[in-house]
Amino acid sequence: MAVKMYKDKSFRMVRGLSVEAHLKDGWTFEPSKIKSTPRRGSRDRITVKEVDVIKPDLGGPEDLITTNEE
């Protein structure tokens, strides 16, 4: 009877007579668990509190909008 054996990220179908030899070589009956790392998403974003707002002096008139006041 064939058995599925795992090592690292690969697997093999092994016949019953050679299972013991594969176990000695580091093969297992269960796949290795991959540890997932948490995503850092929102911690990397810049918030408004961290930004310095710079208003440059353009050297022009203060108000460019003209109104018709009579």
Pairwise CA distance, residues 43 & 70, whole Å: 56
What pLDDT, on the 0 to 100 scale, is given for residue 65?
66
Would you tell me how many other CB atoms lie within 10 Å of the CB of residue 11? 13
The answer to whether residue 4 scores a pLDDT higher than 70 is: yes
The pLDDT mean for the chain works out to 77
How many residues does the structure list for the chain? 70
The pTM score is 0.44
Tokens describing residue 64: 């460019």
The answer to whether residue 48 scores a pLDDT higher than 70 is: no
* Range with lowest mean pLDDT among 2-6, 16-20, 56-60, 65-69: 65-69
How many helices (H) and strands (E) would you count in the chain? 1, 2
Residues 6+ apart with CB under 8 A from 56: none
The answer to whether residue 42 scores a pLDDT higher than 70 is: no
